[in-house]
A and B are shown apart, each in its own frame.
Chain A
Amino acid sequence: MDLFEYQGKQYFARYDIPVSPGDVAYTVDEAVAAAEMAGYPVVVKAQVQVGGRGKAGGIKLADNADEVRLHAGNILGMDIKGHLVKRVWVEHASDISKEYYASYSLDRAAKKHLLMLSAEGGVEIETVAVENPDAIVLLHIDPVDGISLDVARDAAVRAKIDAEAVEGVADMLVKLYRCFTEGDCDLAEINPLILRPDGGVHALDAKVSLDNNAGFRHPEWEAFRATEELDEREQLARTHDLQYIGLDGTVGIIANGAGLAMSTLDVVNQVGGTAANFLDIGGGANADMMAAALGVINFDENVKSIFINIFGGITRGEEVAKGIVEAMGRVELRAPIVIRLDGTNAEQGREILANAGIPESKLTSKPTMLEAARAAVALANGN
């Protein structure tokens, strides 16, 4: 789950990482109130999960209430690269002496945590990596050991962080690591991490991505979930705990297992069709989940055929079949189903489907993935 900047800053604050005083605002009046609290001058920042906000006019400086009104009025409702601005973050404008970069992520190849630190912050780190790779210090951290203040200080020195900022940055690196690990982040990034003329350092931006698997130990994430930008189909899927991603095509896809679901998209594409979605009903899916999955697919008006691709392991064929029969009794599906059922108890599943009295115009069974894909695509394309 990706957080908005303001949520990231709120999350940082939980781990004592200093951020500018400020607040989130959904209206112009709220923006003015936030500015009064933060103290002028302030920065009004569009809250969207896409880069290039500044260039698009989504970040403005304001010296007084009238200017806040003007800028907040312009920014709220703005479209930045297809993202609608629903809220702004208003914070006290900081005096900046230097801009640095710091982030933690998991290096999957090394199977260790990776600290990236650079004295050249404020620009895209990818750009620095290409133009001046030596300006980035990369440090692997063993998750069993974590990072000590000494190691952090050494990294700061190697990254050529200004001498007066080294202590502050090192302290920040230790706190950010705690946020990254205890806070279960996939990514915790500060860019820029600024040095102020008074010698203090703090986070001027926050990019945080949370690991959904760790949600069970973070009740505080509930507030973040409420603002996640999902389309209606994705919302519906979430309430049923289904892994769903909406796409633009016409063949609705239901498969068990992420790999098989991806592969199903690939095969549909190869035989000339387009997928309307990615939907993984997961291992151990039962009749209820299959019925819910069909409900989600049925919500999508673009769907012209539904391809159910099941290879049972934990998932049992008879459960899948029961779910389909149940769903077809409960809702009028907008599109015919083509199913390919193999693996655990597939024989029983096929029998249940064959004996359910469903007309062939609504449900056909195919023995292989390729044949089923061809049939589903033919239906979707109107042949």
Chain B
Amino acid sequence: MAIFVNADTKVIVQGLTGGQGKYHGLRNQAYGTQVVGGVTPGKGGTDVEGIPVFNSVAEAVAATGATASFIAVPPKAASAAILEAAAAGIGFIVCITEGIPAQDEAKVYNTLVRDYPNTRLLGPNCPGIISPGKCNIGITAGEIAELPSASGPNVGIVSRSGTLTYQALYELKQRGIGVSTCVGIGGDPVPGTNFIDCLKEFQADPETHAIIMIGEIGGSAEEEAAEFIKANVTKPMSAYIAGVTAPEGKKMGHAGAITSGGKGTAQGKMDALRAAGVKVGLNPTEAGDLMAEIVATLK
């Protein structure tokens, strides 16, 4: 088991003929992911190192039976690409594109909710998802993810920040702790998939025994997650919130990472998570140490 993606997931890459799409699409394939096709309008009938390219997502789905899409196209084209995938019946979309206007994101999100309730969007501006040993969609370097152990315990990871997602994987790898699935939800203001969506899945996944959550300043997603954890999550958790030292009112790189009027601060988020029973580390390594302690009690 794993969440959202597994060994059976068939993936197409929208933008496979572009630089990013090709590099990461081929790496995902090399990892063992079933990359069954690519989509680039006007380049249908060609191939990228043996992977067939189609003109549209609908054609690609008809020919390959793809169930997931990896979107690696520029910000201007990303919204249309997401909606095209949803319209073609893709159930799971990973969009790594950074820099999509917030207005477009809000429109796409609400269109998906209304017209394509069976499609889940991960991202945009996210590193993707990896179920180690089974499926890797996105830009994560697969070798830093520890394979889950058959006997457990294994840890699920959910993170708002790209590079901190890798850091979390790395911290667990250093300690030899298996990972069931690692989900990077992205740091944009309107993520298609949020902490709670992932926590719900991890709670239900028999292969996941504990959960690490990596948050950051800005918004209230961590506080909402804390409420959800208190009421619904029985699996032990550790967490880290980036941005304890961030100055107020400045956007720290991510459009979503800004504190204002004393809201969205790291301290407030850490307090909320602690109150929900989560062990909170002051840096990623500490969160890893806390998880190692948790895992030791589960063995």
Contact = CB atoms under 8 A, between A and B. Distances in A.
A266 B162 contact: no
A278 B283 contact: no
B21 to A, nearest CB: 12
Interface in A192-245: 211-214, 216-217, 243, 245
B164 interface: yes
B163 A257 contact: yes
A258 B99 CA distance: 13
A283 B162 contact: yes
A111 B106 contact: yes
Interface stretch (B33-41, B212-220, B230-238): B212-220
B245 interface: yes
Interface in B8-30: 20, 24
Interface stretch (B50-58, B248-256, B290-298): B248-256
A186 interface: yes
A261 interface: yes
A186 B219 CA distance: 14
29 contacts: A108-B219, A109-B219, A109-B220, A111-B106, A111-B110, A111-B190, A142-B110, A211-B102, A212-B255, A214-B104, A243-B253, A259-B160, A259-B242, A260-B161, A262-B161, A263-B240, A263-B242, A263-B283, A266-B283, A270-B282, A270-B283, A275-B245, A278-B246, A283-B98, A311-B166, A313-B162, A313-B163, A314-B139, A343-B141
Interface in B182-221: 187, 189-190, 214, 216-217, 219-221
A283 B139 contact: yes
B141 A313 contact: yes
A213 B250 contact: no
A27 interface: no
B164 A259 contact: yes
A257 B219 contact: no
B163 A256 contact: yes
Given A106-B102, A311-B163, A265 B219 contact: no
Nearest to B74: A216
Most interface-central of B106, B165, B240, B256 (chain A CB within 10 A) = B106
Given A109-B224, A143-B106, A247-B247, A260 B164 contact: yes
B165 to A, nearest CB: 8
A15 to B, nearest CB: 14
B167 interface: yes
Given A283-B98, A342-B170, A368-B285, A262 B110 contact: no
Given A112-B110, A270-B282, A312-B166, 16 more contacts: A109-B219, A113-B106, A142-B114, A143-B110, A144-B110, A144-B111, A184-B101, A184-B103, A211-B103, A214-B101, A261-B252, A266-B283, A311-B167, A313-B127, A313-B166, A314-B20
A255 B75 CA distance: 23
Interface of A is mostly: mixed
B224 A211 contact: no
B244 A108 contact: no
A245 B220 CA distance: 23
A259 B254 CA distance: 8
Interface in A40-93: none
Interface in A302-359: 311-314, 342-344
Closest 5 CB pairs between A and B? A259-B161, A258-B253, A257-B163, A260-B163, A214-B101
Interface size range of chain B in the complex: 35 or more
B106 A258 contact: no
B276 interface: no
Interface string B142-163: 0010000000000000011111
A144 B114 contact: yes
A106 B106 contact: yes
Contact of A259 (B140, B214, B247): B214
Contacts of B243: 262-263, 265-266
A144 B103 contact: no
Contacts of A255: 163
Contact of A245 (B214, B247, B285): B247
A216 B106 contact: no
Most interface-central of B103, B106, B163 (chain A CB within 10 A) = B163
Contacts, number: 171
B255 A211 contact: yes
Nearest to A183: B103
A216 B164 CA distance: 29
A261 B251 CA distance: 12
Given A270-B282, A312-B141, A343-B141, A262 B162 contact: no
A214 B167 contact: no
Contacts of A312: 141, 166
Given A259-B254, A263-B283, A313-B139, A181 B103 contact: yes
Most interface-central of B114, B162, B254 (chain A CB within 10 A) = B162
B100 A213 contact: yes
A380 B221 CA distance: 36
Nearest to A278: B252
B107 interface: yes
A181 B165 CA distance: 32
B76 interface: yes
Interface in A161-190: 181, 184, 186
B42 interface: no
Contacts of A142: 110, 114
Contacts of A259: 159-165, 187, 214, 216, 242, 254, 257
A214 B282 CA distance: 35
B242 A266 contact: yes
B284 interface: yes
Contact of B256 (A108, A260, A311): A108
Contacts of A214: 101-104
A279 to B, nearest CB: 9
B162 A245 contact: no
A284 interface: yes
